[in-house]
Amino acid sequence: MATTVKSLTPSPFHLPKRARSVLLNLALILVCMLMLFPVFSTLVLSFKQQSDVRSLPPRLFPCNTATDTFDLAACRFFGEGYERVFLAKPSPNALLGFQITGRIFSTYLPNTVLYAFATAFFVTIISAMSAYVYSRYRFRGRRALMIALLVLAGVPVLTMLLALQQTANGIRRIIPGYEERIFMIIVYVGLELPFAIWVVKGFFDTIPKELEEAALIDGCSRFGALVRVVAPLATPGLMSIFLLAFVNVWNEFIVNYLLMSKQNLRGAMYGVFDFIAQSLSSYNALAAACVLVMVPVIVVFLFTRRVFFRAMVEGAIKG
């Protein structure tokens, strides 16, 4: 029987393990730089003067001298873009002696904070209870309901906007003192729930049932076992759902724009859209508005990144 002898001659394309690791890291750094460049350029643009924004040829950093040479000492960074967004005016009754009158900061951002936090909170609570039932109980129609949730999660939002708008108009006519903020939160919760239930159920499926049985023997109710045993073990999954719902609502525009009849109840994305119409030629002010809208999401993610990455790793290993 003929045997195949492997050639001991190294392949010309073979690289040492250390070299492959270095090349992989360099490729990842390049990808990260390409992804972060739009964010970085927007941040730099927000601190430029209007004259530097319109300079030709365009420059990333306003550090050119009279002879068009780059000099760090000649850099010109100002906050006139942020001044146009904040519109701070003196006020003797204010705590700091001035009052922010810009609508993005005083109206639209607080609305989005309310919608995002309320939606993420209710989605986390409801999805945890629903996913626990789907994970631990076997009942008639369970599979059909799970498939229905999966189908709902894949339905485009645009196909539901007409029905939602008609529902909002009907409620507005029937109920006196109708609060649009509550309806907006209910809509967001309904849009985020199907996918959230599927994700949380996957985390609950990995938790051994014996732990709950031991808690039930010790006198816990089913709800007590969920709160005291299952939920703490599934904290990374619940936290990831909270973050995903928060970010999705924060970045949402079209539903909030169409369902809200009052402009002062709309969110931050509409605030940026409205600011574009008002400051079409002031690109530094537009960049400042974009930076102010994206900073809260970045801060929330930085404070919760460890739990989020832990959830992603556990999902990859256990899934």
Asked if 276 and 286 count as a contact pair (C-beta separation under 8 A), the reply is yes
Amino acid at 256: N
Place of tokens 């089913």: 222
Domain hosting residue 207, numbered range: 106-318
Q: Which of 250, 248, 243, 244 is nearest to 293 (CA)?
A: 250
Distance from the first to the final alpha carbon of the chain? 45
Measured CA to CA, the distance from residue 231 to residue 41 in angstroms comes to 42
- Split at pLDDT 50, 70, 90, the class of 281 is low
How many Å apart are CA 105 and CA 101, to the nearest integer? Answer: 8
What was the pLDDT predicted at 317?
Answer: 43
Tell me the two tokens of residue 248: 């999705």
Whole-prediction pTM: 0.80
| Within-domain flag for 188 | yes
The reply to whether omega before 57 is within 30° of 0 (cis) is: yes
Write out pLDDT tens, residues 3-46. 555 555 555 556 777 888 888 889 999 998 999 888 888 888 88
151: pLDDT strictly greater than 80: yes
Q: Would you say residue 142 lies in a domain?
A: yes
Question: Does 201 reside within a domain?
Answer: yes
Counting the structural domains of the chain, the total is 1
Does residue 40 lie within any of the structural domains?
no
Contact 120, 304 (CB under 8 A): no
**Residue 303, in any domain of the structure:** yes
How do residues 227-252 score in pLDDT, each as one tens digit?
888 888 888 888 888 988 998 999 89
Cα–Cα nearest to 74, from 86, 84, 85, 61: 61
Q: Residue 114 falls within a domain, yes or no? A: yes
Q: Is residue 218 part of a domain?
A: yes
Instruction: Answer yes or no: is 89 within a domain.
Output: no
CATH code of 167's domain: 1.10.3720.10
